[in-house]
Structure 1
């Protein structure tokens, strides 16, 4: 049965990051689970003190500069991600050689671990951006903005008008494709990671200061999953009528 609501765009791109804080993988279709896109950030790199390697320092996270130069992906066989070094060497994440390569590459003890009850996501299971917000930021910075810098899970094509559009959806439900429904939560707070280069993506114009001045240091929105299913690039996205 079709979702009832107001069309707001279509899925423009899908990304998952099998190993947290590495460069991720573009997808044409993705399974959406209660914890977000299937296999997204299921693995992470841990430091000697038990912190999760990231681009920032918090109670859970530890900065490991340069981890974004590494790439993670699934090849579709047994569900075990592959980690690729900047030199192009690939390792299964469950092979001790992967942790050994990270330790050697960064000069500190690092180990890959699969997620348990400790969540690897920064703020929420899903991170959503629109082309409208990308256009708004590009206007502020005076040039095209690469969407991958912001590590979204979903990018929605909402047109090219420069508006921080998705923040107006907070508290609302978005239906994606035939099955999936997500709830839009608060804006996504940003950190210095968005101004760092990553594999295949240059740093570009510095965006953090512009977002601090013009959008409360947020870009995109957090979201949680209400109904699981599969989504694909090109799927229609509708803002649900809460009265229906």
Structure 2
């Protein structure tokens, strides 16, 4: 599939995470604006200090183990809507909860939590868009053959199906390049993600394993994916070509 035009693969899966640090929703297509996938990480679990639930503790984030057992989705908002309404929160069995804030307080055992929409402080750890290749995903699977691994551990927005023979960590070659996705979307790859213990954490049918982060550290300096900023908003769809310009 690689050629002189710079085609590196096609979109195999699209993921959006309406509530930061919860499981996401798979989409057939997604609108992408300057902020990223429309509605992505627009909501987060916030504590009394104003920190957002995450897999790590920093100035903006607080580690809240258990969020990955939950998931979130937007229940079918119109394509011409500028922004989806509040997301649904789903429990570990996939059932929609009636009161997300009340449920989160009970589930996480903290009374100072609330589900909050993004305000002046960004919910993003880094850049708007994370892109991961199947070649890289396959290499991580080789490193930990006894541990179930799929892209959910790494929370990309776009999983790109790369052709046979593509080397792992091909994303490194994208850094500093602009790419076209489908007909209109243009992105600029700027750097990769430095991974944290969130990759090890259990979620739904994926068990906890410290081997995941160790493998990434050993084979690729603890970095995985390509992070991009948005140059021209547009639409991403399953089957769209990713072409380096």
Q: TM-score, normalised by structure 1?
A: 0.90
Mapping of residues 71-220 of structure 1, within 5 Å: 71-77=71-77, 79-91=85-97, 97-108=99-110, 109-142=112-145, 145-161=149-165, 162-203=167-208, 206-220=211-225
User: 2:62 corresponds to which residue?
Assistant: 62
Q: Quick one: distance in 2 between partners of 1:128 and 1:26?
A: 14
Query: How far apart, in 2, do the equivalents of 1:160 and 1:79 lie?
Result: 41
Other structure's SS at 2:6 match: strand
- Correspondence for 1:43: 43
C-alpha distance in 1 between matches for 2:42 and 2:207: 25
Q: Note the alpha carbon deviations across 1:15-40, whole angstroms, 9 max, x for none.
A: 00000000010001000111000110
> Is contact 2:71-2:94 (8 Å) kept?
no
TM-score (norm 2): 0.89
> Which range moves more in the overlay, 100-109 or 164-173?
100-109
Give the C-alpha shift of residue 140 in structure 1.
2.2
> RMSD of aligned C-alpha atoms?
1.8
Structure 2 residues not aligned, in runs of 5+: 78-83
Unaligned runs of at least 5 residues, structure 1: none
Offset of residue 48 of structure 1: 1.9
Single out whichever of 161-170 and 53-62 deviates more from structure 2: 161-170
Q: Distance in 1 between matches of 2:55 and 2:192?
A: 19
Q: CA offsets per residue over residues 155-174 of structure 1, 9 Å max, x none? A: 11113444110011101011
Q: How far 1:237 sits from its partner (Å)?
A: 1.2
Alignment correspondent of 1:27: 27
- Inter-partner Cα distance in structure 2 for 1:201 and 1:174: 32
- The number of residue pairs the alignment matches comes to 233
